Amino acid sequence: MKEINSARIEFLSRSANEGFARAAAAVFASQLDPTLDELSDIKTAVSEAVTNCVVHAYPDELGKILVRVRIFEESVLEITVRDWGRGIEDVQKAREPMFTTGGEERSGMGFTIMESFMDKLRVRSLPGRGTTVVMRRTILQREKK
């Protein structure tokens, strides 16, 4: 698939930066002319991925988070969220609904939400080395009026 456009941002794992990441991804995705529902889905998925980095990758320290957004031909949006934190011991277990390592206040639904709002979700992680989440969504093209 041919890449049409891309951008990347890097920021500290402060919870305040979650809103920045979701807004940046939504603005970038806007060039594909998504519906408001599609934009909302994208923003929610990015929020979940970045929040996972803040809560799970760097629970006791600040670290860096990278968000890369890319557009491919055929209106495919790809969003990568990467951290260099703790990593995930068992990715399959972590992707199960209601599983969390974040305490009682966490729902354990982050990966499930990302998967439900995007067409594809890939998670790679190495304990002690960090996690990379890659999400893809095809933005349906509407007829121009």
**Residues tagged active-site:** 48, 52, 106
In angstroms, the CA 85 to CA 57 distance is 4
Cβ(66)–Cβ(24) below 8 Å: no
Give the residue among 6, 9, 7, 21 at the shortest CA–CA distance from 52: 21
What are the DSSP E strand ranges found in 1-145?
Answer: 3-12, 64-72, 76-83, 120-126, 130-138
